[in-house]
Structures are given as structure tokens and as C-alpha cells.
Amino acid sequence: MIDLSNFSGLPVARTFRLVIAAAALLIVSDGLVLASSRIKDLVDIEGFRENQLVGYGLVVGLNGTGDSLNNSPFTRQSLQAMLERLGVNTRGETLRTANVAAVMVTGNLPAFAAQGTRMDVTISALGDASSLQGGTLLVTPLVGANGEVFSVAQGSVAVGGFSAEGDAASITRGVPTVGRIANGALVEQEINYAFKERGAVRMSLRNPDLTTARRIAETINAFIGKTVAVVGDPATVNFSVPRNSNLNIIDLLTDIEQLRIEPDQIAKVVVDEQSGIIVMGKNVRVSQVAIAQGNLTVTITETPQVSQAQPLARGGATVAVPRTQVSVDDEKGNRLAILNNSIDLKQLVDGLNALGVGPRDMIAILQSIKAAGALQAEIEVM
């Protein structure tokens, strides 16, 4: 409750404005306590994006683990072209080096990266090189989708995997044909984007949802005090700078991205059949349904025994006598399990665990429940 005794000496209009402001502050503070995520963690702002770059280059200094030039003509041509640029003519000569590998160089140009800043690059073998360990990437221009050069990469390649072999055995850990150069590329060209001059931007939800988008817009409008955020679709919230505002869009977004809301999500069950992983959202519900699970297991065990003739017996021989044991488990002890109506996620998991089934059988059960119309959720199979 707000004590109005302290406002007795103030004009009535000003008193009510202070009361309203104090009440709004209490509402915002209470919302911050109950909310769970910042807007900054839920949306991507238009213009704040990376740009993918790619280039073709050569890695040298390999200890005999590079491309075989007879099987990789592009490596031989690239090596000859590089040597010619350095004043060495090798046309018509037979090159037998195995210390060079043709590679693809990839990287992401950070948003608003200034000229002279550095970025990480990934090096991937293109030919039949067995390892890039110990190699050095020569100067490689990296181009964007428009064909323009935005950065240049060079440096020693760091490889996490390794490969070793002998005459009768070999071992490989990780992927020795892929490496990385931290801060290995230098930005040569900036992407001009006058973000500060914009009067409006779009916020793209990373997980599109209409309820979440509406909550974001309502929270922003309540913070600004005007209708400046409008939901365009489940994945977009349009924000514009209010008129006669002393703040620019950067100042406003800095405050807005710290606001907290509780995001909503659809009921979904994600299934990875290859690994047997099951992930369920908190809104998954199941109507009342009875479930029984059982498998017919037949086990055959072979324990052959040796029958040996008696000592000094004429015509005796040692023979193997087969012994076979067959057992059948039809799981007669299993019974129907009933899942009650509109149970929550914890009750659903407890009910499925009570059946004593493994993850892969649980996948089949969930799909069967969905087919019966009792699972109120979307199943996504990866």
C-alpha cells in the first residue's frame, strides 16, 4: 500500500502522477522477479548478423602427410601457380613433394567488424592429405557471397586430432584433416551499416511463438510508455523510435534488451532414434490411456561337451556331443499401466519409468500414444 500522507502538500494532479509512477515501478519490479529470460536472449536484432566467408589456399610444411600430387591435380596446379608468382618456374617439371595440401578456409565475419580486427578460421583438407598437423596456411583471401574479398587468412594450423600407423596397425583420434587458426584472418573490408541512423528495426524471435512475441511487445510498450512495438507475425516484433525522443535507437535497445519476460512454447517431444534420446517440453500432456509393453525373447545357449572313449577300448573315438538349452521369456508378469488424464511432465515420465522400459521402447510407446490421439503434443523425429 502507498502512503498518501506525504503528498498532502502537493498539487492533486502531481500527486496522482507520482502515485501512478510508484505503482508502475512496483509492477515492473514484480514482473522482473517472476520472469525468466531477457529479451536479449530471445531475439535477434535486424542487422546484427555474421557473414560467411570462404577461400581456397595451400597448407605447407607437412611432414609427408600432404596431398599426393598425382592424385590431386588441383594441388599441383595451385603449387605451380604460387611458385610462378614468386618467380620460380616449374612448368614441365615433375613435382614429388608430399608436404603440401590444398585446403578450404572458412570463417564468419563478425557483425560490425572494423578494418584491422581479427577473426577465427577453420581449415579443411580438400585432397587426400592424411593430416594437417604442423602445417602453415599461406596467404588466402576470403570472399563473401558477392565475390568481394573481406579478409585474408594466414598462420600455423592447430589440429586437435592425430593419426599414427605402423606396419601392422594404425590409430586415428579425432579428425586430423581439419584444423583451426585462432585470430588467423585479418579483416580488410568493413560492411557499412548505419545502424544508429535507423528509426525502426525488426526483432526476430529465435523460437517463433505468437504468445512470446506479444509478451515482448507488451513489455516494451509498458517500459517506453507508448505503443512503439507491434507484433508482425509469430517470429517478428517491429520496434520504432518514439517521436520527440532524446534517445537514439541504440540507447533504447540497450535498455529494452535487459527487460525480462516469460517465454511460451508449444508442447513438443523431440526424439532422436539413432541415439535413443528423448526430450519433452513442460507443456506435454497425455489423456487417460492404458499401456502395456512386452517383448518375446528367445535365448539359445550352446554348451557342447566332449565324450572320450574308455582307456584301452578298441574302436573308441573322442567326439563332441552337442548340448542346447532354449529358454523363452514372454514377460507374462507385465501388466497394463494406466496414465491418468491431463498429467504433467513429471507424472508422464514417472509413469513410463514404472513400465521398466528402455529409451528405445519408450520412443515406440510415445509414438503409439500419439497415434491413439492421447498425446497432446507434437512429436519431432530427428
Please state the domain extents for the chain: 12-46+196-261, 51-187, 266-295+333-382
pLDDT computed for residue 191 by the predictor: 86
- Taking each helix axis from N to C end, the angle separating 12-34 and 210-224, rounded to the nearest 10 degrees, works out to 150
For residues 146, 151, 157 and 163, what is the CA-based torsion angle, rounded to 10 degrees? -10
Q: What is the pLDDT of residues 155-203, one digit of tens each?
A: 999 998 766 666 667 777 778 999 999 999 999 998 888 888 888 899 9
CA angle 128, 133, 139 (to 5 degrees): 85
3-state secondary structure of 335: coil
Residue pair 267/378 in contact by the 8 Å Cβ criterion: yes
Report the DSSP pairing between strands 200-205 and 236-240: antiparallel
pLDDT computed for residue 32 by the predictor: 41
Query: Residue 16 CB: number of other CB atoms within 10 A?
Result: 13
pLDDT computed for residue 5 by the predictor: 42
Residue that the C-alpha cell 592447430 belongs to: 158
Report residue 209 as a C-alpha cell: 511463438
Rounded CA-CA distance 340/323 in Å is 49
286-to-208, 231, 265, 273, 276 alpha-carbon distances in Å: 24, 32, 17, 21, 21
Rounded CA-CA distance 353/141 in Å is 56
Report residue 158 as a C-alpha cell: 592447430
pLDDT computed for residue 60 by the predictor: 95
Query: CATH assignment of 12-46+196-261?
Result: 3.30.1360.40
pLDDT computed for residue 28 by the predictor: 42
Rounded CA-CA distance 208/315 in Å is 85
Residue that the C-alpha cell 517506453 belongs to: 224
pLDDT computed for residue 22 by the predictor: 40
DSSP 343: B
CA angle 245, 251, 257 (to 5 degrees): 120
Q: Of all residues in the chain, what percent carry a pLDDT higher than 70?
A: 74
H-run or E-run covering 250 = helix 249-256
Residue pair 82/18 in contact by the 8 Å Cβ criterion: no
Task: Enumerate the β-bridge partners of residue 328.
Answer: 298
Which residue pairs from 235-238 have beta carbons closer than 8 angstroms and sit at least 24 positions apart in sequence?
235/204, 235/205, 235/208, 236/202, 236/203, 236/204, 236/205, 237/43, 237/202, 237/203, 237/205, 237/213, 238/200, 238/201, 238/202, 238/203
pLDDT computed for residue 282 by the predictor: 77
> Which residues of the chain are modeled with pLDDT < 70?
1-35, 162-168, 291-302, 306, 309-310, 312-316, 324-346, 352, 355-357
pLDDT computed for residue 167 by the predictor: 65
- The count of C-alpha atoms lying within 13 angstroms of the C-alpha of 174, restricted to the half-sphere facing its C-beta, is 13
pLDDT computed for residue 339 by the predictor: 56
